[in-house]
Amino acid sequence: MKTAPSFPVSVLLALGVFALDLGMRELPSAETVLYLWPVWVAARTGDLRWTLVIALSVSSMAVIGELSERDPMVGGLDQIFSVRGFVLFSIWGTVLTVLPLIQAKRQLLQSQANLLAEADVQRMELVQVRQEKTVLETEAERALRDSEALYHSLVDHLPLSVLRKDREFRYSFVNRRFLEFAGADLGDVLGKTDFDLFPKEMAEKYRAGDERVFSSGLLFNDVETYQRPDGEQRWIEVLKSPVYDAQHQVTGMQIVVSDVTDRKRAELALASSKVESESRNRELQQSQSELQRQTDVLESILRNIADGVVVANEHGEFLRWNPAAERIIGIGATETRTNEWAAVYGLFLPDGKTPHPPEQLPLARAIRGEQVENGELFVRNAHRPEGALISVNGMPLRYDDGRIRGGVVVFRDVTELKRAEAEIRAKNEDLETLLYVTSHDLREPLRAIENFSKLVVDRYSDKLDEKGQDFLQRVVRGAQRLDHLLQDVLTLSRVQRTTHPESNVDAEEVVADVLRQLEPRIRDTRGIVRLVKPLPALRVDRRWATQAIYNLISNALKYTREGESPDVEITGYTGPEGDGLAVRDRGLGVPEEYAERIFQLFQRAVGREIEGTGAGLAIVRRVAERHGGRAWVRPRIGGGSEFIITFGAGQNT
Which carries the bigger pLDDT value, residue 456 or residue 410? 410
Residue 98 in this model has a pLDDT that exceeds 70? no
For residue 246, give the 3-state DSSP assignment.
Answer: coil
Which of 30-39, 273-282, 558-567 is the least confident region? 30-39
Which carries the bigger pLDDT value, residue 282 or residue 367? 367
Cβ neighbours, 10 Å, residue 568: 24
Which carries the bigger pLDDT value, residue 129 or residue 634? 634
For residue range 338-360, what is the model confidence (pLDDT) as tens digits?
Answer: 889 999 999 999 998 999 999 99
For residue range 424-440, what is the model confidence (pLDDT) as tens digits?
Answer: 777 766 666 666 666 66
> What topology is assigned to 305-406 in CATH?
Beta-Lactamase (3.30.450)
DSSP per-residue codes, 526-540? T-EEEE-SPPPEEEE
Residue 102 in this model has a pLDDT that exceeds 70? no
Query: In which band, very low, low, confident or very high, does the pLDDT at 250 lie, cut at 50, 70 and 90?
Result: confident
For residue 552, give the 3-state DSSP assignment.
Answer: helix
For residue range 572-603, what is the model confidence (pLDDT) as tens digits?
Answer: 998 888 889 999 999 888 888 888 888 886 55
Contacts of 333 (CB under 8 A, 6+ apart): 310, 318, 321
Query: In which band, very low, low, confident or very high, does the pLDDT at 501 lie, cut at 50, 70 and 90?
Result: low
Distance of alpha carbon 172 from alpha carbon 433, whole angstroms: 118
Which of 35-44, 189-198, 311-320, 571-580 is the least confident region? 35-44
Rama region for 233: left / alpha / beta (φ>0; ψ in -120 to 50; rest): beta
For residue range 58-91, what is the model confidence (pLDDT) as tens digits?
Answer: 667 666 655 555 555 544 445 444 555 555 555 6
Average pLDDT over residues 20-35: 50
Query: How many contiguous H segments (helices) and E segments (strands) does the chain have?
Result: 18, 18
Report the pLDDT value the prediction gives residue 27, as an integer from 0 to 100.
44
Report the pLDDT value the prediction gives residue 246, as an integer from 0 to 100.
77
Report the pLDDT value the prediction gives residue 390, as an integer from 0 to 100.
92
Report the pLDDT value the prediction gives residue 156, as an integer from 0 to 100.
65
Q: What residues does CATH 3.30.565.10 cover in the chain?
A: 501-647
Report the pLDDT value the prediction gives residue 148, as an integer from 0 to 100.
64
Distance of alpha carbon 105 from alpha carbon 358, whole angstroms: 141
Report the pLDDT value the prediction gives residue 249, as an integer from 0 to 100.
85
Decide if 239 contacts 220 (C-beta within 8 A).
Answer: yes
Which phi and psi (to 5°) does residue 572 adopt?
Answer: -80, 160
User: Quick one: 376 exposed, middle or buried, by C-beta within 10 A (0-12, 13-18, 19+)?
Assistant: middle
Distance of alpha carbon 97 from alpha carbon 64, whole angstroms: 25
Which of 36-50, 65-79, 99-113, 322-336 is the least confident region? 65-79
Rama region for 124: left / alpha / beta (φ>0; ψ in -120 to 50; rest): alpha
Decide if 559 contacts 631 (C-beta within 8 A).
Answer: no
State the average pLDDT for the chain: 78
Which amino acid appears at position 504 of this protein? N
Overall size of the chain counted in residues: 653
Which carries the bigger pLDDT value, residue 120 or residue 382? 382
If you classify domain 158-259 with CATH, what class do you get? alpha beta
Distance of alpha carbon 265 from alpha carbon 233, whole angstroms: 10
Q: What residues does CATH 1.10.287.130 cover in the chain?
A: 414-498
Decide if 69 contacts 51 (C-beta within 8 A).
Answer: no
Report the pLDDT value the prediction gives residue 653, as an integer from 0 to 100.
37
Which carries the bigger pLDDT value, residue 199 or residue 491? 199
Residue 201 in this model has a pLDDT that exceeds 70? yes
Residue 400 in this model has a pLDDT that exceeds 80? no
If you classify domain 414-498 with CATH, what class do you get? mainly alpha
The CATH architecture one would assign to domain 501-647 is: 2-Layer Sandwich (3.30)
DSSP per-residue codes, 431-473? HHHHHHHHHHHHHHHHHHHHHHHHHHHHHHGGGS-HHHHHHHH
For residue 389, give the 3-state DSSP assignment.
Answer: strand
Report the pLDDT value the prediction gives residue 367, as an integer from 0 to 100.
92
Distances (CA, A) of 409 to 71, 227, 307, 308, 430: 174, 66, 10, 8, 37
Residue 268 in this model has a pLDDT that exceeds 80? yes
Decide if 549 contacts 514 (C-beta within 8 A).
Answer: yes
Q: What is the pTM of this model?
A: 0.37
Angle at CA 9, nearest 5°, toward 8 and 15? 85
Query: In which band, very low, low, confident or very high, does the pLDDT at 111 lie, cut at 50, 70 and 90?
Result: confident
Report the pLDDT value the prediction gives residue 438, as an integer from 0 to 100.
61
Residue 142 in this model has a pLDDT that exceeds 80? no
Average pLDDT over residues 137-142: 71
Contacts of 444 (CB under 8 A, 6+ apart): none
Residue 412 in this model has a pLDDT that exceeds 70? yes
For residue range 507-528, what is the model confidence (pLDDT) as tens digits?
Answer: 899 899 899 989 988 998 899 9
Q: What residues does CATH 3.30.450.20 cover in the chain?
A: 158-259
Whether omega for the bond prior to residue 534 falls within 30 degrees of 0, making it cis, is yes
